[in-house]
């Protein structure tokens, strides 16, 4: 049986010192109680972000509403003695442990344990370190006792999250770390070309971009993206034709008599990871005849946010997202022409993941925006997904390839 070592940690002149206790085997740790975030008292200021009737000004506040796609559960230090917990997800989490790491101590320890965190939840919690001496569970399984610390400068504590919740396990697989925000400048400055969003649509947009980021990060997509020439060959063989158009990924230079500015394998690898980097995405809604992307902007129509992504219609989003990455209509990374490009490939792959139930969210009833006539301008029915038996990923992988 492993010995459960017990440590005492205390502060002196901003330094932390450690020492083993003599009665480590007999010590009975008294850990902090588990928190159910669905039943928090008023002092925690619990709220649900993006309530349908919430003022859109809150979602457009870029100092307050933002998250990284690989960290939908966000933990931010507030002041010297508190944290803000925010979950950017249409589905809640269970069995969540939030770890803290102090600058003068090389081990992480559990500072909060949540039995439940509901969808789009936000609340505030006092740092127990600043209240009194407490026992904490170390990541190693041992116990640490930390004496009261008066407070922490901004960023002094590093937080990390762990959970055995299957949804959280999917979040952990996302390699992209784009920062997502909403921006009202587009419809304010160009109303008609863009339209204002509301919290109901924002929830759909958040759901979609988490799914999309998971798809981009998927090993099958990485393999296909970095071997697009092979994918083209397989497509042609399945159709019984020669390869149509470009043989591989190419850049923004115009095609001249079938001569493309092809990328090397090394460049293609770099481009893939560029799709997953730390850039900021401003999500907006199209109002005019054309969707737009470029710079920080990526947008699509209301129908794409409400029903399209649930049935895998991701062509428009893939196209505008590629403009956001820097590719123009001349590149097959941003179009579906020349016998097939990323628009078509990504859409087929996304549909295959829905078929496998291998996305964080596949049930439109977690939001039911299609039925919220007060918050949408179009008329919608519940989206029902059905895969085309000729889907190239279904034909090739035959129901296998799930990201386990």
The pLDDT-based confidence of 390 (bands split at 50, 70, 90) is: very high
Task: Please state, in angstroms and rounded to a whole number, the distance separating the CA atoms of residues 196 and 51.
Answer: 16
pLDDT at 25: 63
pLDDT at 240: 81
Q: What is the mean pLDDT of residues 368-385?
A: 97
pLDDT at 103: 86
The pLDDT-based confidence of 23 (bands split at 50, 70, 90) is: low
Tens of pLDDT, residue by residue over 74-122, are: 999 999 999 999 999 999 999 999 999 998 888 999 999 999 999 999 9
Task: Please state, in angstroms and rounded to a whole number, the distance separating the CA atoms of residues 18 and 29.
Answer: 17
The pLDDT-based confidence of 12 (bands split at 50, 70, 90) is: very low
pLDDT at 133: 93
Q: Which two tokens stand for residue 379?
A: 């008329």
Q: Which two tokens stand for residue 62?
A: 């870029």
Percent of the chain beyond pLDDT 90?
82
The pLDDT-based confidence of 388 (bands split at 50, 70, 90) is: very high
Whether pTM > 0.75 for this model: the answer is yes
Q: What is the mean pLDDT of residues 124-129?
A: 96
The pLDDT-based confidence of 337 (bands split at 50, 70, 90) is: low
The pLDDT-based confidence of 311 (bands split at 50, 70, 90) is: very high
Residue 404 pLDDT greater than 60, yes or no? yes
The pLDDT-based confidence of 326 (bands split at 50, 70, 90) is: very high
Do residues 122 and 38 touch, judged by C-beta distance below 8 A? no
Q: Which two tokens stand for residue 53?
A: 């009737």
Stronger pLDDT, 404 or 65, i.e. the higher one:
65
Tens of pLDDT, residue by residue over 223-240, are: 999 999 999 999 888 878
């Amino acid at each position: 049986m492993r010995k459960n070592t017990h440590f005492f940690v205390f502060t002196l002149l901003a330094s932390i010192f450690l020492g083993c206790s003599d009665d480590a085997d007999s010590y009975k740790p008294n850990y902090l109680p588990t928190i159910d975030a669905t039943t928090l008292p008023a002092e925690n200021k619990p709220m649900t972000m993006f309530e349908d009737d919430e003022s859109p000004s809150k979602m457009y506040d870029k100092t307050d509403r933002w998250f990284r796609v690989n960290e939908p559960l966000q933990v931010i230090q507030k002041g010297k003695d508190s944290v803000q917990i925010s979950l950017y997800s249409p589905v809640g989490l269970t069995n969540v442990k939030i770890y803290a790491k102090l600058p003068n101590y090389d081990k992480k320890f559990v500072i909060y344990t949540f039995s439940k965190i509901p969808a789009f939840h936000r609340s505030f919690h006092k740092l127990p370190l600043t209240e009194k001496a407490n026992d904490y569970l170390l990541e190693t399984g041992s116990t640490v006792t930390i004496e009261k610390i008066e407070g922490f400068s901004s960023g002094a504590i590093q937080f990390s999250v762990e959970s055995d919740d299957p949804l959280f396990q999917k979040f952990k697989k996302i390699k992209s770390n784009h920062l997502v925000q909403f921006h009202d400048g587009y419809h304010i400055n160009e109303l008609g070309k863009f339209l204002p969003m509301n919290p109901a649509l924002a929830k759909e947009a958040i759901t979609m971009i988490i799914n999309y980021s998971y798809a981009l990060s998927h090993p099958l997509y990485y393999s296909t993206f970095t071997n697009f020439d092979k994918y083209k060959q397989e497509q042609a063989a399945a159709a019984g034709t020669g390869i149509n158009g470009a043989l591989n990924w190419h850049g923004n230079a115009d095609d001249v008599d079938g001569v493309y500015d092809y990328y090397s394998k090394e460049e293609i690898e770099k481009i893939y990871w560029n799709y997953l980097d730390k850039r900021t995405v401003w999500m907006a809604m199209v109002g005019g005849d054309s969707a737009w992307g470029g710079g920080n902007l990526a947008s699509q129509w209301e129908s794409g946010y409400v029903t399209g992504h649930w049935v895998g219609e991701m062509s428009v989003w893939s196209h505008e997202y590629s403009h956001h990455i820097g590719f123009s209509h001349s590149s097959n990374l941003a179009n579906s022409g020349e016998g097939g490009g990323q628009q078509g490939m990504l859409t087929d792959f996304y549909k295959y993941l829905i078929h496998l139930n291998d996305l964080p969210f596949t049930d439109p009833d977690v939001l039911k925006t299609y039925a919220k006539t007060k918050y949408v301008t179009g008329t919608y029915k519940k989206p029902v997904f059905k895969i085309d038996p000729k889907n190239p990923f279904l034909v090739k992988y035959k129901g296998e390839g799930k990201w386990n």
